[in-house]
Chains A and B, each alone.
Chain A
């Protein structure tokens, strides 16, 4: 049994690092701290979309709706869908646009062109595939599986490590009835999260408006 660095920092900040007696060095003893850190990781991933997976979905003839199930983690949102054999991306749309453009979109079959997500785990593609010989490469943001052991991989960017620490410390003080300290650390978490100044995927790009005039 071992605790990871985030847990170590949390224990240090709540005065439990030298002779731990409340949060013992076992999976059961560390469960409250791990719950808080897992909550923080999930929330940060929700906000930043920092963890993605590719999901290969074999098409089935005439099937338009697919329920996606992940073995580890939960589906966040779909960012890209690519048709592998014919090598083109599908466009994201919704049921209203499809119905407006073509009321028979559920009847027609062919090469899928559009997709949309329904709820937490359903993917709809249109038109429905006319064959089973293709595969869709679905890229999606995934909310990582909750870690349960000190040796499990933590799917959290290093920049957000201290944000997660403050999140857990905040919940520790809340569980002790100290709302003031809890709020103090929660504000620290929000500051360190730095939503306004996140690392951009391409910080060198400067967005600007331009007209279509030549």
Chain B
């Protein structure tokens, strides 16, 4: 159910079908507020993603003032090098901040404007930040190369390893610089980098074409970026073009390797790709024998030499009517109740306390139901109560005598 339909439901309960009292913008903000509240209180949404090494960013910037000018159609920006607040300039090396003095502060390693440069065999001289997914809230499990790694903090690393910035090897821990920056820093920096997943195509095509007959007029190696439908005798890009009933979850690029990139650069959807062995990113397979069974999922990007993350999700804010909440359909009504309770409390002509209380009651009850529902997800677990310092299994079932019982002479 998209936001447009939910908005109609909300307006019906507000008795304001055309928005004379509550504007769309107000209700949209209340909606985003309400769905975030539900997630924070219940932690219902969680997800699993593979984070690629090296990380990919759309572009890098140096100063904060650059931020508003960055392309709004893209979202992954990397603040490169080191900002020096006193001088309001950016430096590569620490000794540059001694500009008016001797400039004798030591520095180490190389500096870069894109994190992937740190993985090209050089010794990095600064933290290499790797982005969490855009909807990341809290980590539940982080693994590198299929083995769990632990969270640590920078102070501890500095105390035990003075060369923590330059340390490379097999990553066994990670830390975060701050919460605002949605990224983490692996320690030590991994050295086993798999560059092969960047380009899937075995040969570099000389041209791309949409219809097979086009290739006969061109020389060289061609690559068809459309899919031929033998039933309807058409070439299409997205599967929803075949019938207007479904959405294609797979991206189609003009070049094969483009199909591997999505917005986050982490989860990769490839239609009709062959199964690769691995334990990482999940995609829904389409266009093969397995795909005919809905629900089949295969890994395409391997967890080998990458990070695997299980995490609590922060619901994505809704912006337009076609957006859908991250919550499944059967939970979206509780968001609506939250919107209604808030809307009836807004200080405008629609302020009605009794209705605000009614919908608040429904909203709160919904959250309680959801909490109860979350516990049911663990109903299949076998729990066993134990006392402290007691072995997991007691093999002898004999009665115990009290310790003060006199010893037999």
Interface residues of A (CB under 8 A from B): 32, 35, 39, 42-43, 45-47, 49, 55, 57-58, 60-71, 74, 76-80, 91-93, 95-96, 99, 103-104, 106-107, 117-120, 122, 124, 128, 141, 143, 146, 171, 174-177, 179-180, 182-183, 186, 212-214
B141 touches A96 (CB 8 A): yes
* A183 closest partner in B (C-beta): B358
25 CB contacts below 8 A, A to B, read A32-B12, A43-B330, A60-B296, A62-B278, A62-B299, A65-B282, A70-B294, A71-B294, A92-B381, A95-B140, A96-B141, A103-B147, A106-B308, A118-B47, A118-B310, A119-B46, A124-B48, A171-B13, A174-B13, A175-B15, A177-B352, A177-B355, A179-B355, A180-B354, A186-B358
How distant is the Cα of A65 from the Cα of B12 in the complex, in angstroms?
41
Count chain B residues whose beta carbon lies closer than 8 angstroms to a beta carbon of A: 61
Query: Closest chain B residue to A127 by CB distance?
Result: B279
In the complex, chain B residues whose CB is within 8 Å of the CB of A124: 48
CB distance from B88 to the nearest CB of A (A): 44
* Docked-complex contact A91 and B330, CB < 8 angstroms: no
Interface positions, chain B 9-25, Cβ under 8 Å from A, are: 9, 12-13, 15
The 10 closest A-B pairs by CB, nearest first: A179-B354, A106-B146, A67-B297, A42-B330, A62-B277, A92-B380, A119-B46, A77-B377, A99-B148, A95-B141
CB 8 Å contact bits of B272-287 with A (1 = contact, 0 = none): 0001011110111000
Question: Are A143 and B293 touching (Cβ within 8 A)?
Answer: no
A57-B295, A61-B277, A119-B45 known; A99 vs B141 contact (CB < 8 Å): yes
Q: What A residues does B147 contact at CB under 8 A?
A: 103-104, 106-107
Chain A residues contacting B284 (CB-CB under 8 Å) are 67, 69
Q: Which residues of B contact A58 (CB under 8 A)?
A: 290, 293, 296
Of the stretches B57-65, B116-124, B368-376, the one at the interface is B368-376
Task: Report yes or no: B355 in contact with A118, Cβ–Cβ below 8 A.
Answer: no
Report A-chain residues with C-beta under 8 Å of the C-beta of B370: 46
Contacts of B275 in A (CB 8 A): 60, 63
CA distance A124 to B290 in the complex (A): 18
Apart from A68-B297, A96-B141, A146-B329, what 5 extra A-B contacts exist at CB < 8 Å?
A: A65-B280, A120-B328, A128-B279, A143-B330, A179-B352
Majority SS at the chain B contact face: mixed
CB distance from B374 to the nearest CB of A (A): 9
B326-354 contact mask (Cβ, 8 Å, vs A): 1 or 0 = 00111001000000000000000000101
Contact B297 A118 (CB under 8 A): no
Question: What is the bound-complex CA distance between A47 and B294, given in angstroms?
Answer: 27
Interface pair A91/B382, CB less than 8 Å apart: yes
* Cα(A122)–Cα(B376), bound, Å: 16
B358's contact among A46, A95, A104, A174, by CB below 8 Å, is which?
A174
Looking at the assembled complex, report how far the CB atom of B129 sits from the nearest CB atom of chain A, in whole angstroms.
24
Q: B9 contacts which of A35, A76, A93, A128 (Cβ < 8 Å)?
A: A35
B349 to chain A, nearest CB (A): 13
CB-based contact A69/B359 at 8 Å: no
Q: State A183–B9 Cα separation when bound (angstroms).
A: 19
Q: In the complex, which residue of chain A has the Cβ closest to the Cβ of B312?
A: A119
B357: CB under 8 A from chain A? yes
Q: How far is the CB of B116 from chain A (nearest CB, A)?
A: 25
Q: Which residues of A contact B148 (CB under 8 A)?
A: 99, 103
- B355 near A47 with CB under 8 A, answer no
Partner among B279, B354, B366 whose Cβ is within 8 Å of the Cβ of A62: B279
Flag B146-160 by CB within 8 Å of A: 1 or 0 each. Answer: 111000000000000
> Which residues of the partner chain B approach A60 to less than 8 Å between Cβ atoms?
275, 290, 296, 298
Q: Which residue on A lies nearest to B353, using beta carbons? A: A179
Partner of A143, one of B278, B328, B377, B381: B328
B47 touches A179 (CB 8 A): no
Q: For A70, A79, A117, A179, which residue has the most chain B Cβ atoms within 10 angstroms?
A: A179
In the complex, are the beta carbons of A78 and B380 less than 8 A apart?
A: yes
Q: CB distance B379 to A79 under 8 Å?
A: yes
Question: Which residues on the B side are within 8 Å of A62 (C-beta)?
Answer: 277-279, 299
**Does B362 make an interface contact (CB < 8 A)?**
yes
Residues of chain B within 8 A of A93, CB atoms compared: 381
